[in-house]
Amino acid sequence: MSHPWIAERMAHFDSSGIRKVFDLAAGLKNPINLSIGQPDFDVPPAIQQAAIEAITHGRNGYSPTQGAAGLRDKLQARVDAQYGHNNRRVFVTSGTSGGLMLAVLAIVNPGDEVIVFDPYFVVYPSLVEMANGRMVLLDTYPNFRVDLDRLEAAITPRTKAIIFASPANPTGVTATTADIRAIAELAARRNVALISDEIYNEFQYDEPFVSPAKFNDQTIVVDGFSKSYAMTGWRVGFAHGPAEIIHEMAKLQQYTFVCAPQPFQWAGAAALDVDMKPYIDTYRKKRDRIIAGLKDDFEITQPGGAFYVFPKVPNGDATKFVERAIARELLVIPGKIFSRHDTHIRISYAATDETIDRGIEILRELARA
């Protein structure tokens, strides 16, 4: 029975379906876990050492809301060199999810429309609901690429923002440079805020990463250290965009998260000097490994980044397929967690090669059953 004190807005939120799969894993004796959206490697040693030194040197209190100078200044210099936008400013957020929340709350009024591409990262709909906005879903099936004509047709006088991600979660699909440019220029032409979720930008395998900020100087970019450096539990992200928007986001952070954990901000500053290419090369091989293992039994759109593959299940019912997989102690995520469709499953290959191979074997058996 619902408690009388619970706010009405909570009716729009449910426990993450991904978390429910994690809970299932706890009850399995020998789970084959291809559900977790975090790297299977540990934080590189130089970054760990920087965190330890920050702690032992007393950097344990609050940092400025905008971020510790050692990290913020380094990020600002990088952004200035990359984009050369006179009015683009950076601040440090409490994780990328925190940054996304601040971006949405800073710009979306009640009743404003926010365009979200289906399938989507699970947090996007909840963020729009939190701001009392109206989510407009734009279907990208079957190839998970944005139809630019449909996107322009979806923009109305109430459209305030578009949330865009490439590489994308859950599909791993990367947009072409031409499409990224077209989306960025469309947002600018129609005076719509473009929020670019770039948490997977290091995990781009087949071509260099391109941000829509390259083509639209008003793009609000949200990024972080969680995926690229395996710092998921350290809650350090950052955002950059027009100075006026960043100021409002930082103001909101002051009254919510206060700041990102200071010792880990200094670790983030050290992380910017760590070469992650060997790790990314390993993940490219994992991508190729799982695609080679599944392509004969599943319909798959080739993922160009992140560490997910989003195959269509043979019988078209992803929930039932996942139930069969769990009975074999294989953990994957049903597509309905990320979509209005329930025809695909998300597989994370952020796992050992042994685990990936065990998962491939069971997935092929289930597909052929």
CATH number at residue 36: 3.90.1150.10
Residue after which a domain boundary falls, among 236, 255, 271:
271
Q: Per-residue pLDDT tens for 195-212?
A: 999 999 999 999 999 999
Q: Which of 232, 254, 271 is the last residue of a domain?
A: 271
**Residues 53 and 38 both lie in one domain:** no
1 falls within a domain:
no
Same domain? For 197 and 162 the reply is yes
* Same structural domain, 50 and 22: no
Domain containing residue 145: CATH number: 3.40.640.10
Q: 32-33 and 330-331 as β-strands: parallel, antiparallel, unpaired?
A: parallel
Check residue 316 and give its pLDDT. 84
The pLDDT, as a whole number, for residue 8 is 84
* Whole-number pLDDT of residue 16: 57
Q: Examine the domain organization and report whether 194 and 295 are in the same domain.
A: no
Number of domains in the chain: 2
Domain enclosing residue 249, as ranges: 45-271
Question: Do 160 and 13 sit in the same domain of this protein?
Answer: no
pLDDT of residue 24: 65
Q: What is the pLDDT of residue 25?
A: 64
Task: Evaluate whether residue 26 is within a structural domain.
Answer: yes
> Is 164 found in the same domain as 35?
no
Pair (257, 300) in one structural domain: no
Assess if residue 2 is contained within a domain.
no
Q: Is residue 316 part of a domain?
A: yes
Are 167 and 286 within one domain?
Answer: no
Is the domain of 197 the same as that of 209? yes
Q: Does residue 3 belong to any structural domain of this protein?
A: no
Q: What is the pLDDT of residues 238-259, one digit of tens each?
A: 999 999 999 999 999 999 999 9
| 324 part of a folded domain | yes
Q: Is residue 100 part of a domain?
A: yes
Domain shared by 170 and 294, yes or no: no
pLDDT value of residue 83: 96
Domain boundary among 206, 237, 271: 271
pLDDT at 11: 79
Residue numbers in the chain where pLDDT is lower than 70: 1, 15-26
Q: Kindly state whether residues 84 and 232 are assigned to the same domain.
A: yes
Residue 355 lies in a domain: yes
* 53 and 128 assigned to the same domain: yes
Predicted confidence at residue 15, as pLDDT, reads: 64
